Amino acid sequence: EMMKELAGLNEMEMKIQKRFQLQQVVVVPGNSDESSWVKKELGRACSSSIKKHLVGKNIIAVTGGTTMAAVAEMLTPEISQKSENLFVPARGGIGNDVENQANTICAKMADQTNSQHRVFHIPDQVSQQGYKAFINEPSIREVLQLISSANIVIHGIGEAMAMAKRRNTSQSECDKLIQNKAVAEAFGYYFNENGEVVHKLSTIGFQLEDLMKTKDVFAVAGGFSKGKAIQAYLKRAPNSTILITDEAAAKGILKEI
Ligand code: G3H
């Protein structure tokens, strides 16, 4: 019975990997919308996959969110046995939710793995004027440089409207997202069901161009509710992507639209 179940998951992994031309896909059993232990399993699966990819010196950029927090929770010092790692937040913070901000998660990941980290003390969204002032700060310049030279990225994927709500997005911006049929969000970019960017937050830090030149990109997201969002994002994801997801999301990812 268990082998059969396992075989089913393996088949889903292969199908997703082929359909979206990804580096690797891992599907854990269950639905992380319903049980918190499934989210922990996503974290565990990501941790063991990362371990296999870390050699030499690495700069690892990470985003925020509850799934990333689960990844941080599951990282162990073993990861740094054969490598020297520096964790950097991909971007600034999101609202007031300190616990799930990239900065906090980054510090936790470094702590769990006896590694170094940098903080990025800027708001998640800045004005044009603010941007110019920020990038002239030497400490911010240093972190920005590290972010754009990251060889590994670990990021979450969210449902567009859920993320807009979490960010206290204005009504007019929400209307724009609805009008442009945004379904997915990752590192401040909003995508429609074809994986096209329909909106982008004016954020300092990690950009889509950076993602395209990153050697290993770990995308971690699960739950039935995210199936469509993950499917949309994967149409745009680079071939270097290693997707860590769960069974419930995998079914949605494989659904024809
Ligand atoms: O960008 C997407 C978010 O990081 C996803 O957040 O893991 O809390 O659903 P979550």
The pTM of this model reads 0.94
The reply to whether ligand 1 has any atom less than 6 angstroms from the CB of 188 is no
Measured between alpha carbons, how far is 73 from 144 in angstroms, rounded to an integer?
25
* Distances from the Cα of 165 to the Cα of 118, 134, 185, 186, 221, angstroms: 28, 26, 12, 14, 18
Angle between helix 66-74 and helix 102-112 axes, rounded to 10 deg? 10
Measured between alpha carbons, how far is 206 from 204 in angstroms, rounded to an integer?
7
Token readout for 30 is 């269950």
Measured between alpha carbons, how far is 109 from 103 in angstroms, rounded to an integer?
10
Beta-carbon-side half-sphere exposure of residue 213 (alpha carbons within 13 Å): 8
Query: What is the 230 CA–ligand 1 centroid distance (Å)?
Result: 11
pLDDT at 92: 66
Ligand 1 atom closest to Cα of residue 69: 7
Helix (H) or strand (E) run with residue 118 in it: none
pLDDT at 134: 78
pLDDT at 139: 84
Token readout for 141 is 């310049």
The reply to whether ligand 1 has any atom less than 6 angstroms from the CB of 65 is yes
Measured between alpha carbons, how far is 92 from 24 in angstroms, rounded to an integer?
28
pLDDT at 116: 96
Taking the chain (257 residues) in runs of 10, the rounded mean pLDDT of each run is: 72 97 97 96 97 94 94 95 93 65 93 94 72 82 92 97 89 96 95 96 83 96 98 97 98 90
Query: What is the 77 CA–ligand 1 centroid distance (Å)?
Result: 25
Nearest CA to ligand 1 atom 5: 158
Measured between alpha carbons, how far is 215 from 238 in angstroms, rounded to an integer?
10
Ligand 1 atom closest to Cα of residue 100: 8
The reply to whether ligand 1 has any atom less than 6 angstroms from the CB of 157 is yes
CA dihedral 202, 120, 54, 26 (to 10 degrees): -50
- For residue 29, the SS3 value is coil
